[in-house]
Amino acid sequence: MDFDLPEETLALKQLCRDFAAKEIAPYAAEWSERCHFPADVFRHLGKLGLMGMLVPEDYGGADAGFVSYVAAMEELGAADQSVASAWNAHSTIATLPLATFGTHEQKDRWLRPLATGEAIGAFGLTEPTAGSDAAGIRTRARRADGGWLLDGTKMFISNAGTEMSLGVTVLAVTGENSGGSKRFGTFFVPEGTPGYAKGQPLRKLGWHSLDTRELVFTGCWLSDDHLIGEEGNGLRQFLEVLDGGRISVAALSLSLAQKALDLAVQHSGEREQFGRPLHRFQAVGHKLADMATEIAAARWLVYHAAWLGDQGRPFSTAAAMAKLYASEVANRAASESLQIHGGYGFVRESTISRFYADAKILEIGEGTSEVQRNVIARALSRGAG
pLDDT digits (tens, 9 = 90+) for 155-166: 999 999 999 999
Q: Which residue has the higher pLDDT, 240 or 152?
A: 152
pLDDT digits (tens, 9 = 90+) for 351-383: 999 999 999 999 999 999 999 999 999 999 988
Distance CA 345, CA 177 (A): 55
pLDDT digits (tens, 9 = 90+) for 199-213: 999 999 999 999 999
175 located within any domain: yes
pLDDT exceeds 50 at position 251: yes
How many domains does one find in the chain? 3
pLDDT digits (tens, 9 = 90+) for 45-83: 999 999 999 999 999 999 999 999 999 999 999 999 999
Task: Specify whether 33 is located in the same domain as 134.
Answer: no
Last residue of a domain, one of 209, 231, 253: 231
pLDDT digits (tens, 9 = 90+) for 285-331: 999 999 999 999 999 999 999 999 999 999 999 999 999 999 999 99
Task: Specify whether 63 is located in the same domain as 149.
Answer: no
> Which residues are paired to 155 by β-bridges?
none
Distance CA 290, CA 313 (A): 32
Last residue of a domain, one of 231, 266, 300: 231
- 307: helix, strand or coil: helix
Last residue of a domain, one of 231, 252, 280: 231
Catalytic residues: 366
Distance CA 23, CA 44 (A): 9
Q: What pLDDT, on a 0 to 100 scale, did the predictor assign at position 385?
A: 40
